Structure 1
Amino acid sequence: MENIEQNLGYEPMNPRDKQFEAVGPTPDNPPWNSWVAVGIWILSVFLIVTVPSLFLLPYAMSQVPPITETPALVEFAKNDPTAIILQILAIIPAHILTLLIAWLVVTRFRTYSFRETLGWKSGGMVWWHYAAILISFAAVAVVVGSISPEQENDLIRMLRSSRSAVYIVAFLATFTAPIVEEVIYRGVLYSAFQRKVGVSGAFMIVTLMFAIVHVPQYYPSYSTIFLLGLLSLILTAMRVWSKNLLPCIILHTLFNGIQSIFLILGTMSGDLDMPPDPGVLVQFLK
């Protein structure tokens, strides 16, 4: 059993360490190492890219004639409304698989508590902290938007394809993306890096990783990319300050939920061409 756990990348535990046995792992002392954390991150990105492809290919092959050439398939994936909806729906099983794998690693195959290992306490955060952050971010977004208006990007094109796409994106952005992304970035990655390279190093690495992985989705909208980087910085700083993951999930959910409300209201008004605010943080097939 010990050899299996070492091969999986778990940090060896000293059985004589009575303090660890009594307390168990903590958000800043997880039972996995940085290599395992990076592996889970790579797997999460892989699932986001491949699962939508698995949903799309049968539909593409059912066309007359079947769409098999790569250039034609790319255009079909970007422009056909049904193809777009299939790819968005595929994010749900991708998120479920990602969360399941993360749960197995965090709990060390059900040995430890998922919530206690990641940090499921308020960490000193109260309601007005969240309100102040959201209001301040909105003010910055207004200023940035006035200086550099948002440009056309993949997410905007996807949302303009149909009302159904807007509703599904709003659901994902509010109810699945925040917990999955925070568990991976501020949970699994930050906890491992913090122990390996220290708080400052982990802060910079996780902030950049979260921002960079979203760049292809929003390029060339530089204002959106800037705000995304700012949000990543705020969420990681909250993890550092609170020493818990729960506040990050709450803020991320509030942020995405507010954006989703505006998206749905815009759709109900009949304005599908309304450009969405650059805050809906959910990943899709590029």
Structure 2
Amino acid sequence: MDTDIALVAHPAEPPPMPYSATPIPESPNGWAAVGMLVLYFLLQAFVGAVIAAMVGLGVLLVDHTQPAAEIMRTIKALMARPNINVLLVAGALGGATAIMWWLVRSRWPQLWRRATVPGFGLAAPRDTSFYAIAVAAGIALPIIGGMLTQFLAQGHHVPQDIKQLGANASLAAKFVLMIVAIAIAPLIEELLFRGVLLSAWLKRLNVGWAVACTSLVFALVHLPDLKFLWYGLPNLAMLGAAFAWLRLKSNSLWPAVIAHGMNNLVTTVAWFFTMQSAT
């Protein structure tokens, strides 16, 4: 009897794959985040220059028969008009915002809607009550911050670029300026400061230091609007910290955007009301 039995070798089953959570997307590094901020302000200058050049070209096409010196005087007079200045600023900010929005979303698509950091939080908050908290904070912060700034200023005048920009503008131009202040500026600034920059610095710093550093940078960036007067710095830093708190606690960027917009709304309405009373 043949005892040789052909043994068929069955391949061993592969071991079960260990469970692994979805990998966390890589957050931006510090240099990339700072670079985005610098690029944003450079883009404002570039887009503003392009718009001004287009206005000048329009004048040149209309008055091309005039001497060059006369054309230059016409362009300078046109650019000095308050309404033109407002539209120039609005166009520069709107154009820079659109470009930066596209750049950030293209550069870090996985972080765009991610709720927790690293992530930019373009998603609904974990609790809708944060919308109400954001509105309340946006109303209270300019009042508290204004009192703090006035106390530190000790009676000195506190200039504001936006207030001076809209001082002699028409009602329609003031409305455009308010739209920029309460909608466009908060949207892009929160994306850059509480989205990109905060996510980058949380890689190396604990939450407290990351919030403090981003709030300080936020304040320093806005200090030129106050003619570099130091007593505007604490209010601006307080705003940055409040917006960062909303971003982190709500797991969403939108409450910070809403609070920022409400803060700017209260402030601009107060400025324009004061200007109307003075006229």
Match of 1:143 in 2: 147
CA distance in 1, matches of 2:85, 2:18: 53
Match of 2:106 in 1: 104
Whether the 8 Å contact between 2:160 and 2:225 is mirrored in structure 1 is yes
Among 17, 29, 38, the residue aligned to 1:42: 38
CA distance in 1, matches of 2:83, 2:136: 40
Whether the 8 Å contact between 1:44 and 1:98 is mirrored in structure 2 is yes
Among 133, 136, 151, the residue aligned to 2:137: 133
Following superposition, the deviation at residue 139 of structure 1 comes to 4.2
CA distance in 2, matches of 1:31, 1:179: 20
Q: Unaligned regions of 5+ residues in structure 2, if any?
A: 1-16, 61-68
* One-letter amino acid of the counterpart of residue 94, structure 2: I
Whether the 8 Å contact between 2:138 and 2:258 is mirrored in structure 1 is no
CA distance in 1, matches of 2:199, 2:256: 13
- Deviating runs (4+, > 4 A) in structure 1? 220-225, 260-264
Following superposition, the deviation at residue 186 of structure 1 comes to 0.5
* One-letter amino acid of the counterpart of residue 87, structure 1: L
Following superposition, the deviation at residue 83 of structure 1 comes to 3.5
Match of 2:176 in 1: 168
Larger Rg: 2
* One-letter amino acid of the counterpart of residue 178, structure 1: P
CA distance in 2, matches of 1:244, 1:155: 28
The within-5 A match list for 1:182-201 is 182-201=190-209
Whether the 8 Å contact between 1:219 and 1:225 is mirrored in structure 2 is no
Q: Does residue 1:122 correspond to 2:118, yes or no?
A: no
Match of 2:242 in 1: 234
Please give the TM-score of this superposition, normalised by the length of structure 1: 0.70
CA distance in 2, matches of 1:154, 1:17: 59
Following superposition, the deviation at residue 127 of structure 1 comes to 4.7
Residue correspondences, number: 242
Q: Give the secondary structure class of the aligned counterpart of 1:32.
A: coil
Provide the identity percentage.
19
Whether the 8 Å contact between 2:86 and 2:177 is mirrored in structure 1 is no
Q: Does residue 1:65 correspond to 2:70, yes or no?
A: yes
Q: Quote the RMSD (CA, aligned, Å).
A: 3.4
* One-letter amino acid of the counterpart of residue 113, structure 2: R
Q: 1:94 to 1:131 in 2, by over 3 A?
A: closer
Whether the 8 Å contact between 1:48 and 1:94 is mirrored in structure 2 is yes
How far does the alpha carbon of each residue in 1:99-156 deviate from its partner, in whole angstroms, 9 at most, with x for none?
A: 111111120xxxx362224222424553553355345424424533653354334322
* One-letter amino acid of the counterpart of residue 216, structure 1: P
Following superposition, the deviation at residue 166 of structure 1 comes to 1.4
Q: 1:56 to 1:194 in 2, by over 3 A?
A: same
Q: 1:89 to 1:104 in 2, by over 3 A?
A: same
Q: Which region of structure 1 is more displaced relative to structure 2, 51-60 or 39-48? A: 51-60
Q: Does residue 1:81 correspond to 2:121, yes or no?
A: no
CA distance in 2, matches of 1:174, 1:258: 9
The within-5 A match list for 1:47-58 is 47-58=43-54
Q: 1:153 to 1:139 in 2, by over 3 A?
A: closer
Q: Give the secondary structure class of the aligned counterpart of 2:125.
A: coil
CA distance in 2, matches of 1:17, 1:32: 29
Whether the 8 Å contact between 1:218 and 1:225 is mirrored in structure 2 is no
* One-letter amino acid of the counterpart of residue 120, structure 2: L
Following superposition, the deviation at residue 191 of structure 1 comes to 0.4
Following superposition, the deviation at residue 76 of structure 1 comes to 7.8
Following superposition, the deviation at residue 247 of structure 1 comes to 2.2
* One-letter amino acid of the counterpart of residue 85, structure 1: V
* One-letter amino acid of the counterpart of residue 28, structure 2: W
CA distance in 2, matches of 1:200, 1:87: 38
Match of 2:161 in 1: 154
